[in-house]
Structure formats: C-alpha cells, structure tokens
Chain A
Amino acid sequence: QSALTQPASVSGSPGQSITISCTGASNDVGRYDLVSWYQQHPGKAPTLMIYEVFKRPSGVSNRFSGSKSGNTASLTIFGLLPEDETDYYCSSYAGSNTWVFGGGTKLTVL
C-alpha cells in the first residue's frame, strides 16, 4: 500500500483550468476504476468531489471533472474560483479490501 503520488502544489488564475494528477500502480489505480477525489479546507474534514474516476455526487459543481489513463488519474477544475483554493486528495481501492490515499495537492488560485 504505497501512497499515490500527487504534485505538492498547483496554481492557476481565476477562470482558468487546472489538472491535478494522481499516479499509482498497476495494482491500484491501473487495475480498478475506483478512484475518488476529496476536497479539504483547513481544519475541516474531507468532502467527496469525484467517485469511480469520473462520477460527480449531487451538489458538486460540474466544473470538477475526473478521468484516468493507465496508472494515473486526474482531477480537472474548470473556471477556477477563489473558493477552490484548498487541498485535494485522491484515493484508490488497492485490492484485498485495502485503500490508499495520495499525498495531497495544495491548489492556489492566484
């Protein structure tokens, strides 16, 4: 269960789009379409933004989009807003009833 690899930070200007990558291995991200993404504001619990690679829970803006290619999943945020500035984490099922998280990415909206 090695942690998934995310960039430590990404940045973009309001209105722009950014993509956060989440790289795993052939036994987690690469094997299962069970990647989810979480947004976490300082001092708060994470909240679900994307599940099963690309599905959006009700109430989550369609500016958030997920995808996967090979061992790498991605979260794209379109039309950046100031309130998008916070931390984002990916997670994947890793087989044998275990799960793994990414190292987290801090998004800065310039």
Chain B
Amino acid sequence: QVTLKESGPVLVKPTETLTLTCTVSGFSLTNARMGVSWIRQPPGKALEWLAHIFSNDEKSYSTSLRSRLTISKDTSKSQVVLTMTNMDPVDTATYYCARLNLQTWFDPWGQGTLVTVSS
C-alpha cells in the first residue's frame, strides 16, 4: 500500500523558514516513473503546485515561489523535504505531498498538514 505522510510545525512566525517532511512508504524514491510534489491549499481556496523532485534528483519549482523554495530527498529515509523561506501570513495553508506518476497524475496524496503563519 502506497502512503505519504506530511510532518512539520503547525505554527511558524513571519519571516521564519518552514521545513516540511514527507515520509513515503510502498514505493521507492528511486523509481524512475515516479516523483513527489508539494502542493498547498490556503483555507477555502484552490490547490497550488509548489515543487517537484524526480527520481534522478532533478528538481522543479513554481515560478512565482522559486526564490523561496528548496526541495530535497533522502532516499535512505524515504523522505522528501520542502523548505520555504521568509514565511508570511498569506502562506497559511494545508501543505500536501503527493506522488506524481509518469509525470502526469498526482496519486496518492498525503493527508496534509495545516501550517499557520502568525506572530
């Protein structure tokens, strides 16, 4: 059974750096047909793709957030890590990680983790 689970702080202060971890099971982060993306959803709003990491460690980022994002993976721990710098209250959202299959569809998704940015 393939699962992904996000973990990280529930509350961060403005200007701080957010670090989120996605722990996967049931598949390998070295599988060439798969990768892991981070996607977020502000309360009551739409989904927004943030970043992706491929099995060969190639990375891609949302154009609008590229300067603030870093994605990495630790294959031995089956973990994908996302860092986002200079957090702002508008970054308050549920952050999801999801497996990307054959570069086309996101499935499955983690349960999501709500991150609130507030002083």
Selected contact of A45 from candidates B37, B48, B96, B103, CB within 8 Å: B96
Which residues of the partner chain A approach B110 to less than 8 Å between Cβ atoms? 45
Query: How extensive is the interface on chain B, given as a class?
Result: 20 to 34
Interface of B is mostly: strand
Asked whether, in the complex, the Cβ of A102 is within 8 Å of the Cβ of B112, the reply is: no
How far does the alpha carbon of A104 sit from the alpha carbon of B44 in the complex, in Å?
10
Among A13-21, A46-54, A76-84, the stretch in contact with B: A46-54
Interface residues of A (CB under 8 A from B): 1, 3, 34, 36, 38, 45-48, 51-52, 57, 89, 91, 93, 96-104
Partner of A97, one of B45, B46, B48, B58: B58
Among B47, B54, B101, which residue has its beta carbon within 8 angstroms of that of A46?
B47
Question: Are B49 and A99 in contact, with the CB atoms below 8 A?
Answer: yes
Closest A residue, CB atoms, query B101 = A51
Is B52 interfacial (CB-CB < 8 Å)? yes
Chain B residues positioned under 8 Å from A52 (CB to CB): 104-105
Query: Would A1 and B60 count as touching, CB distance under 8 A?
Result: no
Across the interface, which residues of B come within 8 angstroms of A36, CB to CB? 104-106
Task: For the complex formed, measure the closest distance between the CB of B55 and the CB atoms of chain A, giving whole angstroms.
Answer: 13
Are B63 and A1 in contact, CB atoms less than 8 angstroms apart?
Answer: yes
Residues of B within 8 A of A3 (CB): 46, 48
- A46: chain B residues within 8 A (beta carbon): 47, 96, 106, 109
- Verify if B30 is at the interface (C-beta below 8 Å from A): no
Contact indicator B105/A104 (Cβ below 8 Å): no
Q: List 18 A-B contacts (CB under 8 A).
A: A1-B63, A3-B46, A34-B103, A45-B96, A48-B108, A93-B103, A96-B60, A97-B58, A97-B60, A97-B103, A98-B52, A98-B62, A98-B63, A99-B106, A101-B39, A101-B46, A101-B47, A101-B48
Residues of A within 8 A of B46 (CB): 3, 89, 101-104
A104 to B106, CA, bound (A): 16
Name the residue of chain B whose CB is nearest to the CB of A52: B104
User: Are B63 and A48 in contact, with the CB atoms below 8 A?
Assistant: no
Given contacts A36-B104, A45-B111, A48-B105, contact A97 B52 (CB under 8 A): yes
How far, in whole Å, are A45 and B96 apart by their CA atoms in the complex?
8
